[in-house]
Amino acid sequence: MPNRRVLVGTPAYNGTAEVHYINSLLYSDRLCLKNGIDLHPIWLSYDGLIQRCRNDLLAMAVKDQFDDLVFIDADITWDPPQLLKLLQYPVDVVGGTYRKKTDAEEIYTVKAGNPNLPRDPSTGLMVVDGLGTGFLRVSRKAMLAVWDQAEPYQDQRGETRWVFDVRPINGKVWGEDTIFCMKLAECGFPVHLDPAITCGHIGIKKFEGNFGKYLSRLQGQ
């Protein structure tokens, strides 16, 4: 019987999800069940405020006492063992990255001061300043830490908290995912990246890459 409950939180603005995402989720569910993990996918649709949507998903995970919350966007595809891998790391916040939807240049959803980040020799993980929340796992301990410090507000589902936000900092607009990572770090939870996980990002085509090779090129410059 599963002994760990994981909410997979997916914002789906127009009520749809890519078939690649559905295929990855289906086989991830089977794999996780074999390893004692019960996945509960939740899709929130028709909300034009992405920060509010993510706040609602976080509220569900907190109030329903899930062990972990994994944010996965509806246009992301991954290999099922990669999700299991995130859940097995002995850290509270960890994710993989994915290429942005552009052919103009190769860019990934990682915020870091420089490419020469040390790796934990036991896990191979890097600590970064921020990650896109398209493929990010957060433990219950980390969820509660940011939840307890956030401003409460009311919506149609009752009381929730304003954790995710979009606002200017030092003259630049920060997205809700970067601000979330900043709040996690302030609460003592560093954001870890598995550089071996590069998800597919579906747009007018499937945007693919290899973050590890990309990082090696940056380090060599």
- Per-residue HEC secondary structure of the chain comes to CCCEEEEEEEEECCCCCCHHHHHHHHHHHHHHHHCCEEEEEEEEECCCCHHHHHHHHHHHHHHCCCCEEEEECCCEECCHHHHHHHHHCCCCEEEEEEECCCCCCCCECEECCCCCCCECCCCCCEEECEECCCEEEEEHHHHHHHHHHCEEEEECCEEEEECCCCEEECCEEECHHHHHHHHHHHCCCCEEEEEEEEEEEECCCEECCCHHHHHHHHHHC
What does the pLDDT average to over 160-175?
92
Give the pair of three-digit tokens for residue 92: 């509270």
Confidence of residue 206 (pLDDT cuts 50, 70, 90): confident
Mean pLDDT in the chain? Answer: 93
Model confidence at 158, pLDDT cuts 50, 70, 90, reads confident
Residue 115 has pLDDT above 80, yes or no: yes
Which CATH code of 3.40.50.2300, 3.90.550.40, 3.10.580.10, 3.40.50.12280 fits the domain covering 4-220? 3.90.550.40
Confidence band for 55, pLDDT divided at 50, 70 and 90? very high
CA–CA separation, 117 and 148 (whole Å): 30
Q: Is the pLDDT at 197 greater than 70, yes or no?
A: yes
pLDDT score at 2: 63
| pLDDT confidence of residue 48 | 84
Examine the pLDDT at 119 and tell me if it is beyond 90.
no
96 token code pair: 């993989």
Kindly tell me if the per-residue pLDDT of 156 is higher than 80: no
Annotated domain spans of the chain: 4-220
